[in-house]
Structure 1
């Protein structure tokens, strides 16, 4: 899995978790997600789904992301569909550090055509994408925490 991390010096894990736990905010921090269509009422419990679209209007594809594991306030594991490339496994972990949070995100192709790409080649765009996703997540969490 490609792994990225970012440390927020003054934003506690609870503020970051609040963003992750609000499924309607998903397109604000996930690179490629462009809009939300629906969020299951029990998000972010195991089995809950986000119904989102990826792409740029008018070329949008409707997809879903499902929670496969959760430790409230600490970690969230997702299976994110991204047609036509397949399904990705994504794990986000929050670690308290001093008065802030270290956010780790791990992602890799789970199935579909993207899985046919050699791992070292898959990791490069995932690293770039998740660097930006962490920046966006940090911006949203820091502003909401103020």
Structure 2
């Protein structure tokens, strides 16, 4: 499992507000290019984000489903990205004073990506999630609710 952590200069509530707004997903998740639909009950368990990944003309429509949600603290997702497979993603928020330590853990769950040796799988996931956390920080630190 690839694990990345970043201290975000915003309260856990502000960070959660970004996570809870499914329409913001492609702004902070590297690889997501557009949102097609967000279930009304996002981020409740079973709710889905209907997104696209890739760049034109190679765009794949897929979805990400919530497996567990503890508002303000933890979000566990099952992300689809066929033809590579699916991934398990856990996002944890821990208060540090008025700031938030955000940790993303991700690994392939099903599909061809599982055939790649773990150290080789972790390299792109690490890069991707460092950048995703950077983008999440930009939004949470500058967003006014």
**Normalised-by-shorter TM-score class:** over 0.9
* Deviation larger for 116-125 or 43-52: 116-125
Could you tell me whether the CA contact under 8 Å between 1:11 and 1:101 is conserved in 2?
Answer: yes
SS at match of 1:125: helix
* Structure 1 residue aligned with 2:3: 3
**Do the aligned residues in 2 keep the contact of 1:17 with 1:73 (CA within 8 Å)?**
yes
Gaps of 5+ in 2: none
CA-CA distance at 1:59 after TM superposition: 1.7
Structure 1 match to 2:72: 73
TM-score calculated relative to the size of structure 1: 0.97
Rounded Cα–Cα distance in structure 2 between residues aligned with 1:61 and 1:35? 10
Contact 1:11 1:145 in 2 (8 A): no
- 1:34-93 CA distances to partner (integer Å, 9 max, x unpaired)? 000000000000000000000112221000000000101101000000111100000000
TM-score with structure 2 length normalisation? 0.97
Which residue matches 1:134? 133
What is residue 105 of structure 2 aligned with on the other side? Answer: 106
1:4-60 deviation per Cα after TM superposition (whole angstroms, max 9, x unaligned):
00002x310000000000000000000000000000000000000000000112221
Alignment length, in residue pairs? 145
Query: Is 1:61 equivalent to 2:65 in the alignment?
Result: no
* Uncovered stretches (5+) of structure 1, i.e. residues with no partner: none
Rounded to whole Å, the distance in 2 between the matches of 1:31 and 1:82 is 12
Give the drift of 1:121. Answer: 1.0
**Whole-Å separation in 1 of the counterparts to 2:94 and 2:52:** 30
Contact 1:105 1:130 in 2 (8 A): yes
Instruction: Look up the match of 1:115.
Output: 114
